Every structure is written in C-alpha cells, then in structure tokens.
Amino acid sequence: MPDLAKLELSLKLAAVAPDVERSGFEGVSTAHEPAWYSARFTFDPAHRILESDWPLGEVFASPLSAHSPKTSTLLIYRSEGKAQFRELDENETLLIQSLALGVPLGRVLEKNRGPDFDAMTFHRWIESGLLRSIMWAPV
C-alpha cells in the first residue's frame, strides 16, 4: 500500500528534520486581540499532513489485519525528539495548513466557513512541540 510507505517515510524524515528554536511564547499571556489577529505561527519542520483513502493509523497498528477503505488525515510530527502521528479532524487540518503558509491567525479565522481555533488545540500544539514560534506584529 503506497500510503503506508508514505507514512513510514514521513516518520523517518520527521525523526531527522532540523530543529527550530522556540520563540514568541512569552507574549501569549499578555497579548490582546489585535496582536492575536496578526500573529503568525511557525510549526516544527518535521510536521507533515498525510491524507489517505485508508485508515492509516489502524493499518500501521495492525498491518496483517483486513482493513476497509476509510478516509483519514494524519499529522506526522515530532514530540520530545520522537517522530509520531495522530489523526486530524477537518478543522485542525485546515488550521495547520493555513497557518503553516504564514497566513495571520485573524485572516484564517475570519473566512466564511473557516476553521475554529480553541485554547485546547493551541495548548496541545505547544505541549507537543508542533508549534515552534509565534511572531507578533507591532500593534
């Protein structure tokens, strides 16, 4: 299955990707709405989003079992130096894809039918090491 090979390759590449220093987090607790609107995020260079017509997480965990086609989207990332993956929902996929392009947070959130951003997602990104920096524009 080509998608399983892509997952395995992505995990290997994530393990050896260069590291990026963490920065900008000192402003998180004091930033006001205008600062958040213009904030740009930098994600760990190890991250990848992999979409498949197969439940790749299940296939990876049980490669010898029978599996039926089922769309899945995985985030490949590195946490504490270890490459890993987890399933993404559509909202988080859209957020990561848009923010990784350098689009300011406010611009992403103001789009009609755009993704939602919540504190739990944000904290999960910080704790896992996925989010590496926040660039605050002068307000």
Total Cβ atoms within 10 A of residue 93? 17
How is residue 109 written in tokens?
Answer: 């959130």
Say how far apart CA 30 and CA 39 lie, in whole Å. Answer: 13
Mean pLDDT of the chain: 91
Say how far apart CA 79 and CA 86 lie, in whole Å. Answer: 12
pTM of the full predicted structure? 0.87
pLDDT tens column, 13-66: 999 999 888 999 998 989 998 999 999 999 999 999 999 999 999 999 998 899
Q: Which domains does the chain have, with CATH numbers?
A: 2-135 (3.90.930)
**Does the structure show a pLDDT above 70 at 121?**
yes
Residues composing the chain: 139
